A and B are shown apart, each in its own frame.
Chain A
Amino acid sequence: MSASMNPAVTSPHAPLPLEVETMVKRFGTVTAVDGISLALHGGECVGLLGPNGAGKSTLIRAIAGRVIPDAGRVSVFGAEAGSQPARAALGWVPQDLALYPRLSVKENLRSFGRYHGLSGKKLEQAVGRCLVWAALEDRAGELTRNLSGGMKRRLNMAAGLIHEPRLMLLDEPTVGVDPQSRNRIFEMIEALRAQGMTIIYTTHYMEEAERLCGRIAIVDHGRIIALGTKEALVHNSFASRSQVVARLQGREGKVAAWVAERRGKITDSTAEFTVEHPSEIAALLEGAASSGLELVDLSLRRPNLESVFLHLTGRELRD
């Protein structure tokens, strides 16, 4: 990656890379995005974390200009989403493998480069840069349909970067790839971050969001229900408290009543409590025993993004 590939130098008065103001999008009776507001600063990587169907992809498509909001406003570097300047500034990596399978790696990159108005030497240089970034130089002549899943994903990302955008939209770029390929993709994104690229990264894997993103927006039912750094999100939900996860055996109604009495939650037949200090666990154990409930197992853990999501929505992230 050469320095020319990115950008990210924004003066205090320059328009923000991305501004979403109370955007609403409905498909029939379903409200996919329900009044989301979001602003990104130059060089920032913001993760959109949420389960399938939360509205992440609709938001991304609206930023790419492919979805017209029913209400609200989306602007990219001050230009309306979908406008020519916004398209030029934006590199979109869709969730699907949006490639030409019968074209070679190089031909795909050339095609998308031409669609963005590149030609001649500039196009060849851009293709060369992208091949290096995606570590596909030795596969340049290979037909895309013959590539492995991980390589296709990398090429999919490279095609979004061919025209040197200033804002990247990465929509679940690791879907369906093996752990090794996923690591390679993380390295590519970290290289972009090191260059100061502004990135939006959607995922439903909290580890990815934790590793790559400075700020994380938790999206559910078309709304951002929490936004901040990982630490801030955890602190806002749990302060300094820890989680106790316990599996109890006993009559269902009796267990539920006992958990509710101690302000816990039951998810998938597992009871969860928060404690300020580990010493509070002893009281829980005693309480269970005196109520005639059998404790099968018990663990203490520090809350993470998954816990935050569960805490905020009452559901698992991957439901």
Chain B
Amino acid sequence: MIIPIVRTALLALRRDRVSLVLSFVVPIAFFSIFAAVFGSQRDTMPKIKVIVVDQDQSRASRQLVKALQVDGSLIVSTRPAPTKNRPAPPEFTAETAEAAVKAGDVSVALIVPHGFGYHPISFGPDTTGTAIELLNDASDTIAPQMVSGLLQKAAMTAMPETMAEQGMKYSEKYLGTFTPEQRKNMNTNLEQLRQIEKRQNADGGTGATDGPGGGIIVVKTRAVVGENKNNPMLSFEAAAIGVMFLLFTASGSAGALLDEAESGALDRVLSSRVNMNGLLAGKLVFNILLAFTQLTVMFLWAWAVFKIDFFSHIPGFVVMGLSTAFAVAAFGMLLASICRTRAQLGALSTLLILVMSAIGGSMFPRFLMPEVMQKAGLWTINAWAIDGFEKVFWRDLPVTALWQQVSVLLAIGIVLFAVARRVARRWEYA
């Protein structure tokens, strides 16, 4: 009796194209995305964007900057990209570099201070080495570690003269003529070095930690974004997960159109005073309000349970919330108008939303993705919405700083709704 049941189930599955798509296409699509993100990272490791400000302009500092510039893991810029209005922009200063990190243009900025060339490197407990300041965004925990490490590598490989000169200085300082007193000093210093090494090993340190003594170049790390936040990923998660589920809700809600078309209610409504423009506009407004309410509830929950700072960001939240809600509502309307049945809508929306969420940063941060995937993500609602919410809740930027995200989301919404209106003509008249 098992075979007849299997045969019947197979026949049913073969005629249920939606299930077939969900069973085979979605997993393949997902595997491909994850493979593109993680599988090929050996070749396309995401490069870290770094701003370097060389205040010292000494031989040593220039050598160091040059070494960083040729490093394949970094994209180093010393001045902003030229624009039409500013074909030759001035070099970054400490202030403009800090602003760029705060704005999220780069993850890390390095400030090589005046006097670095006099004392570029140090060993062990010697804190007299001039510290390079590393400004970072606390939400990206990987970039500062990598830059710090690469800085030490650059010093070791690109500054041989400096190393030799400093080595002699240290020989003189620590070795001298090996008098008993000098030997005692040397032993003491060596002991201290051993102690530091022990501590670093115990901490799992990599040699690229904050403060002096972490390497031959002293690096002082300062988080310029999120230093006072309790959890760097919290606002990201609220936005990322929120947008993904907004998309699901919007397409499900817009699917009511299909139910109404199937039951004949749509025909009846359109035979009343209501026309297609009014009907779709009404549905759009409802879906916007639904999506916005969903986002509000999500952020209020994050405030109540996870202590996200919600109430001091209300203007930014409202602007981003409404823009995002408009874009996702229009997306849902388009899907509903394209599909012929609820089942089609279910399959198509699942496929599209999961793909958009994967490459748009709802499942893992986009800065972890290869460059190509990061660019592909810009075609999704998720990426723009998450960027906007991050500006509001993480970078504490004013509402005016959201113009780019808001413009893109509104444009997406307008285009999708216009297409949905065009496609919905099939319901208007026969």
**Complex interface: chain B residues within 8 A of A98 (CB):** 263-265, 267-268
Is A234 part of the contact surface with B, judged by Cβ < 8 Å? no
Task: Name 13 extra pairs, CB < 8 A, besides A64-B267, A64-B271, A92-B268.
Answer: A27-B430, A65-B271, A66-B270, A66-B271, A67-B430, A87-B271, A87-B273, A90-B271, A94-B267, A95-B264, A98-B267, A99-B265, A112-B269
Is B429 part of the contact surface with A, judged by Cβ < 8 Å? yes
Known contacts A27-B430, A67-B430, A68-B429, A97 near B263 by CB under 8 Å: yes
Identify whether the interface residues of A are mostly helix, strand, loop, or mixed: loop
**Complex interface: chain B residues within 8 A of A97 (CB):** 263-264
Evaluate contact between B430 and A66: CB separation under 8 angstroms: yes
**Complex interface: chain A residues within 8 A of B20 (CB):** none
Is B29 part of the contact surface with A, judged by Cβ < 8 Å? no
Q: Mark B101-139, 1 if CB is under 8 A from A, else 0.
A: 000000000000000000000000000000000000000
Could you pull out 18 A-B pairs where Cβ atoms are within 8 angstroms?
A27-B430, A66-B267, A68-B429, A82-B429, A84-B273, A87-B271, A94-B264, A94-B268, A96-B264, A97-B263, A98-B264, A98-B267, A99-B265, A100-B265, A101-B263, A112-B269, A115-B269, A115-B272
**Complex interface: chain A residues within 8 A of B268 (CB):** 92, 94, 98, 112, 159-160
CB distance from A170 to the nearest CB of B (A): 13
Give the CA-CA distance A160 to B267 in the complex, in Å.
12
**Complex interface: chain B residues within 8 A of A160 (CB):** 268
Known contacts A27-B430, A67-B429, A88 near B264 by CB under 8 Å: no
| Chain A interface size, under 10 / 10 to 19 / 20 to 34 / 35 or more | 20 to 34
Evaluate contact between A66 and B429: CB separation under 8 angstroms: yes
* Interface residues in B318-351 (C-beta closer than 8 Å to A): none
Is B88 part of the contact surface with A, judged by Cβ < 8 Å? no
Is A61 part of the contact surface with B, judged by Cβ < 8 Å? yes
Is B285 part of the contact surface with A, judged by Cβ < 8 Å? no
* Interface residues in A2-42 (C-beta closer than 8 Å to B): 27
Give the CA-CA distance A260 to B267 in the complex, in Å.
49
CB distance from A171 to the nearest CB of B (A): 10
Closest B residue to A98 by beta carbon equals B264
Give the CA-CA distance A97 to B268 in the complex, in Å.
10
Closest A residue to B267 by beta carbon equals A66
* Interface residues in B364-419 (C-beta closer than 8 Å to A): none
* Interface residues in B262-316 (C-beta closer than 8 Å to A): 263-265, 267-274
* Interface residues in B241-270 (C-beta closer than 8 Å to A): 260, 263-265, 267-270
CB distance from B290 to the nearest CB of A (A): 15
Closest B residue to A61 by beta carbon equals B430
**Complex interface: chain A residues within 8 A of B430 (CB):** 27, 61, 66-68
CB distance from B281 to the nearest CB of A (A): 14
Give the CA-CA distance A82 to B271 in the complex, in Å.
7
Evaluate contact between A115 and B274: CB separation under 8 angstroms: yes
Evaluate contact between A96 and B269: CB separation under 8 angstroms: no
Closest B residue to A97 by beta carbon equals B263
Give the CA-CA distance A98 to B268 in the complex, in Å.
7
* Interface residues in A24-83 (C-beta closer than 8 Å to B): 27, 61, 64-68, 82
Give the CA-CA distance A152 to B260 in the complex, in Å.
16
CB distance from A50 to the nearest CB of B (A): 19
Give the CA-CA distance A95 to B267 in the complex, in Å.
11
Closest B residue to A163 by beta carbon equals B272
Is A120 part of the contact surface with B, judged by Cβ < 8 Å? no
Give the CA-CA distance A77 to B222 in the complex, in Å.
80
Evaluate contact between B272 and A87: CB separation under 8 angstroms: yes
CB distance from B3 to the nearest CB of A (A): 38
Evaluate contact between B272 and A116: CB separation under 8 angstroms: yes
Q: Mark A97-119, 1 if CB is under 8 A from B, else 0.
A: 11111000000000010011100
**Complex interface: chain B residues within 8 A of A117 (CB):** 273
Give the CA-CA distance A101 to B272 in the complex, in Å.
19
Give the CA-CA distance A67 to B265 in the complex, in Å.
16
**Complex interface: chain A residues within 8 A of B272 (CB):** 87, 112, 115-116, 163
Give the CA-CA distance A143 to B273 in the complex, in Å.
25
**Complex interface: chain B residues within 8 A of A68 (CB):** 429-430
Give the CA-CA distance A159 to B271 in the complex, in Å.
12
Q: Which of B267, B272, B429 has the most CB of A within 10 A?
A: B272
* Interface residues in A226-261 (C-beta closer than 8 Å to B): none
Closest B residue to A84 by beta carbon equals B273
Closest B residue to A27 by beta carbon equals B430
